[in-house]
Structure 1
Amino acid sequence: MIASKRSDLKKTDWEIDFYSRPIIDENGKKRWELLITSTNNFKDKKTFKWEKICPASSVNSIWLKDAFDEAIDEAYSQGWDKPSVIRCWRSSMKTMIKRAADQIGIELISSRRTYSLLEWLIERERSFYPQQKGYTGVNLAPPSNPITNQAIPLPEEVRGESWSFASLSLNTLREADEWEIEFSNLIPIKDSINENISIPGIRLFSPKRSLALAAWLGGLEPAKLLIEGTQIILEAGQADRWLVTDVEEEAKKVIENNFQNTKLYADGLQFISVQKSPEENSLDGFWMLKDIEEY
């Protein structure tokens, strides 16, 4: 692995998946594959992607560590720095990936905020793997297993004194990188989305604890919002499900309809924000989320 000293290298986190694919190799074994993609910048469309097939007999942290070294060298040659963080959503591979990442000084975060990776994997499952020799037609490695954990109330540190449902125009959201926000995580907006679509989300308010609440919320790795019954649920981390609030039946119908519309017509975009009050213009926290069907 080459030690980076250049100051012009692009810095970003990585998203990875190391798992078997719906392909049987010439030895009758499932094909294992490592996929790495950089976390897309809000407006910079340049992405680092890297893939490597792993022999079924070499699925271990030693092979994975060596593959990470190769990927870092390749990234460096393309103008990308070594990441300080990698995200992985597949719980069954967490231990092996962490062991390999620890050896090269990279922090592993278990998170479903791996939107770039999941979209790439979905694309490969639809158009790449079916063209490969040995393709089984059986999805040996689905993008995820349904999350069935019961939702529990948000930690006290992340509960606002009040909340409201909100929506932002796409044009407004495109300017999010120009806002003054203490804690945030923005994701790219595709050019193909209809500009007339409004993006739904929720706002959490806390006059005295807004900044601390935002810091805690960021640590939860928020992934997407959904409606279950008359409850708003926040899915976060690798498998966490947090109860944000209960809503009245009429409000539930409106929110559910908004979430469904953006899922169909706006790439599943959502948001969650933290601020001191509804009248306050500045934000202490703002996260763009995405509801991907295959989650």
Structure 2
Amino acid sequence: MQGRYTKYFPNNVINSITLKDAIVSICDELDVPLPEKIRFFRSQMQTIITKACKELGIKLIPSKRCLSLLLWPEERYETIYTRHPGFQKGSKPLIALDNPFPMELPDSLYGEKWAFVQLPFSDVKKELATLEKSFNFGATLDLDLLGIEIDDETFIPGLAVASSRAQPLAAWINGLEVCSIEADLARANLVLSVGISTRYVYATYKKSGETTNEAEAWEAAKKTSGGLHFLAIQDSLDSDDCVGFWLLLDLPPSPV
């Protein structure tokens, strides 16, 4: 990867011109057409990326679902940075990702009921296979590309949301580039992260010992599955079918 970076940005200078040239060079080298869309996760680079993609006619999508790029700094941290003579443990990360205070959820995104759920990974794969065949709303992840190995028996935590308008609700969510869901134990709510830095209070619950334990168990299950979890939109919580299904990954902050 370092070699590729040096090849396309030999002077380590990145602006809209060098980025545009790099995109064209990569496509020419691989003998593939220019992509229809490109995801990016750093708001600090938005101006440069927007200008380069606009000149190439490429749709730009702010999203943290470009997970292989998000994981790359962690890989370099383990294999390169920590072995450098000037490495200083505990230094402030150079890649700062925005994590603003969550906003109120728009009316169009409200569900009527929700529940913490868990499914064996084998069942999660069945839902994803159904998604690909039926063209329902949702998104999957390339776990092979990400290097994530999960046993079929491992339970994956998720959030099931039921609504009498499940189809339009799933359609709205489908355009948000859903990243992750987390339980805020202190505030007794669930936070939905979408795009690059947009966070919504997705649901709330009455704080008690029982609900806190349930939320803690759900977050613990996420850690056990390596951060993997899902969001399912259904007509009712008793339904066996999903109108929308998104496989999500909760990643720790970048160490660099």
**For the Cα contact (< 8 Å) 1:34–1:54, is it kept in 2?**
no
Classify 1:170/1:51 alpha carbon distance in 2 versus 1 (closer, same or farther; 3 Å): farther
User: Cα RMSD over matched residues?
Assistant: 2.6
Which residue matches 1:233?
A: 191
Q: CA offsets per residue over residues 13-67 of structure 1, 9 Å max, x none?
A: xxxxxxxx9xxxxxxxxxxx986xxxxxxxxxxxxxx9733525x4321111111
> Is 1:109 equivalent to 2:64 in the alignment?
no
**For the Cα contact (< 8 Å) 1:181–1:284, is it kept in 2?**
no
> Is 1:257 equivalent to 2:207 in the alignment?
no
Q: CA offsets per residue over residues 62-105 of structure 1, 9 Å max, x none?
A: 111111111111232xxx55321111110100110110011111
After superposition, where does 1:172-211 map in structure 2 within 5 Å?
A: 172-179=123-130, 180=134, 182-189=136-143, 192-207=149-164, 209-211=165-167
> Is 1:85 equivalent to 2:30 in the alignment?
no
Give structure 1 stretches of 5+ with no counterpart: 1-20, 22-32, 36-49
Report the alpha carbon displacement of residue 251 of structure 1 after superposing the two structures with TM: 2.1
Q: CA offsets per residue over residues 208-227 of structure 1, 9 Å max, x none?
A: x2111111111121111111
Which residue matches 1:245?
A: 203
Report the alpha carbon displacement of residue 146 of structure 1 after superposing the two structures with TM: 5.3
Which residue matches 2:237?
A: 278
Classify 1:118/1:191 alpha carbon distance in 2 versus 1 (closer, same or farther; 3 Å): closer
What SS does structure 1 have at the residue aligned with 2:217? Answer: helix
* Aligned residue type for 2:11: P
Equivalent position to 1:163, from 65, 90, 114 = 114
Report the alpha carbon displacement of residue 261 of structure 1 after superposing the two structures with TM: 3.1
Equivalent position to 1:120, from 67, 72, 75 = 72
After superposition, where does 1:2-17 map in structure 2 within 5 Å?
A: none
**For the Cα contact (< 8 Å) 1:90–1:238, is it kept in 2?**
yes
Which residue matches 1:292?
A: 251
What TM-score comes out, normalization by structure 2 length? 0.83
**For the Cα contact (< 8 Å) 1:143–1:294, is it kept in 2?**
no
After superposition, where does 1:39-50 map in structure 2 within 5 Å?
A: none
Equivalent position to 2:172, from 213, 216, 219 = 216
CA distance in 1, matches of 2:65, 2:8: 22
**For the Cα contact (< 8 Å) 2:24–2:34, is it kept in 1?**
no
What SS does structure 1 have at the residue aligned with 2:115? Answer: strand
Classify 1:141/1:74 alpha carbon distance in 2 versus 1 (closer, same or farther; 3 Å): farther
Larger RCO (alpha carbons 8 Å, 6+ apart)? 2
Aligned residues: 241
What SS does structure 1 have at the residue aligned with 2:8? Answer: strand
Report the alpha carbon displacement of residue 201 of structure 1 after superposing the two structures with TM: 1.1
> Is 1:61 equivalent to 2:30 in the alignment?
no
**For the Cα contact (< 8 Å) 1:269–1:291, is it kept in 2?**
yes
The structure that is strand-richer by fraction is 1
**For the Cα contact (< 8 Å) 2:177–2:194, is it kept in 1?**
yes
Classify 1:51/1:137 alpha carbon distance in 2 versus 1 (closer, same or farther; 3 Å): farther
CA distance in 1, matches of 2:30, 2:72: 18
Give structure 2 stretches of 5+ with no counterpart: none
Which residue matches 1:52?
A: 8
Runs of 4+ in structure 1 displaced over 6 angstroms? none
* Aligned residue type for 1:239: S
Report the alpha carbon displacement of residue 182 of structure 1 after superposing the two structures with TM: 1.6
Which residue matches 1:5?
A: none
Q: CA offsets per residue over residues 106-148 of structure 1, 9 Å max, x none?
A: 111111112121122321222145567xx7426686454351x
What SS does structure 1 have at the residue aligned with 2:203? Answer: strand
Classify 1:270/1:216 alpha carbon distance in 2 versus 1 (closer, same or farther; 3 Å): same
Which residue matches 2:87?
A: 137
Report the alpha carbon displacement of residue 255 of structure 1 after superposing the two structures with TM: 2.4
What TM-score comes out, normalization by structure 1 length? 0.73
Classify 1:146/1:260 alpha carbon distance in 2 versus 1 (closer, same or farther; 3 Å): farther
